[in-house]
Structure 1
Amino acid sequence: MSELTRGFTDGEEVLRLERLRKTYNPGTPLELEVLHALDLRLARGELAALIGPSGSGKSTLLNVIGLLDSPSAGELYLLGQPTRAMDDAQRTRLRNQAIGFVFQFHHLIPAFSVLDNVLMPLMIRHGKPTPGDIARARELLDAVGLADFAQKKANQISGGQQQRVAIARALVTQPALLLADEPTGNLDTRTAEGVFELFRRFNREFGCAVLVVTHDPRLSASCARTIELVDGSIVSDQANPPPRPA
């Protein structure tokens, strides 16, 4: 993974939320505040789990952090840049430069090859992939154990393999922040553990900050940090003890 590592410095701030709020239907009888004055920081090299009951605001928070939605008040800094006042084009540009996404549903393009699916973010960014882009994508496929599947169609591989392709796709742009929303929710226990191990590996080797939404207490415990969201408020943010040696 040496060519993919960009010399990130652990501890360098990637994300900061300051008194961030998200309100729907403001100024109407249906006004509802979903996120309440959240403060949060995430640094390069951190692997954090975001947990909480259904309806606690986790998906809303992830959408705001991923610049897919805007906060109603407060500020979100990504790589030191305040984002609340950005227009859609500015948010899209920063999102494409700085953030990788992995979702519960991998959203691969079935008729495209595995390699082309991994290359898709780069093709969206600047058209035809360069030889360097292709080499990076192939290196990532090798890292997730799918080098021999590069030319297969995405619908010809298993669900666990598709999720590994989605991880490679999320990392091909070399993001500073990787967001994962229930990335193992549709996988059996053994496959889920293998996929989550990839997050730990890339966090360690690639140096990006990783924030994972999960309902699995074993997976959250294996992260260095667990953030708990309840009714739109952060009620706990603590370091986890290191895993015991096998």
Structure 2
Amino acid sequence: MKTLLTFIRAIDPRYFLALNHTCLIVLAMSLYSMQRSLTQVALAFGAAIVTEVAIACLSRKHGENLRIYDRVLSAYVLAAGALILVRSTEWWFYGFLSTLGVLAKYFLLDQHGRHIYNPTNFAIVCAILTMPNLLDYRTDVFSTGFWTILTICTFGPLATWRGNSWRATLGYFAGILMVGVPIGATMGYHPLWVIGPEVNTSTLIFVFLMLTDPQTSPRAPKAQWAYGITLGVLALALRHWEFYYYQFIALFIVLSFGHIFWARPPAATAKWNVR
């Protein structure tokens, strides 16, 4: 057991994300008739990888640590997340979303050189705010599928444990249980009406693999709890007010003010080399 834990600790958490997203896409397309065309899939991955590698090579953000395969992995995870989390029938939509996410990662930085927003979440919120008519707000069939939920519940905890962000995930659910359920009871809502809508692929990906992003979430244990609980309560409020994609909007709001409430370790600021 000790050897297994040591092995898992040595794995880059992004590999768990990549495995999770790949399994979800394969399952969704083969078992649940996922409505994404091959053109949409190809453009999502192609645009993300090309943009990521090009900017990484032009900038000095990664310095001597730049590895092309590492950048490809990062872009792959971003594009796969976009494909899974939102629906659109436009052939170019996911390519645009992936490109926007990569750009946000390199250009929207805090004073320490870290990206302010989770790239995938930022791209999704921008689409919600600027192109709402291009989004399909009906839930994907695979969203409540047994195998897709099982997949996330397998790889998600591994990623949060490896990234030391598990307190934020537990904090989100604590906010739902400790604040949402009691308030819901005063309004005549059964606890299942409060908890049930959170059990789907989008929310589980959100709580395990998005809000726990080490680049944007707090690192201190107490701050992680406060961050997760705040997100859970805000997401519930937005859901009550019938906001679509409420989790992503909640994360965008919290991260917009995150630098005020918690400190994150500095990272190298990008220096552009256009020669």
Q: TM-score, normalised by structure 2?
A: 0.29
Would you tell me which structure has more helix in proportion to its own residues?
2
- Structure with bigger RCO (C-alpha 8 Å, 6+ apart): 1
Would you tell me which structure has more strand in proportion to its own residues?
1
Q: TM-score, normalised by structure 1?
A: 0.31
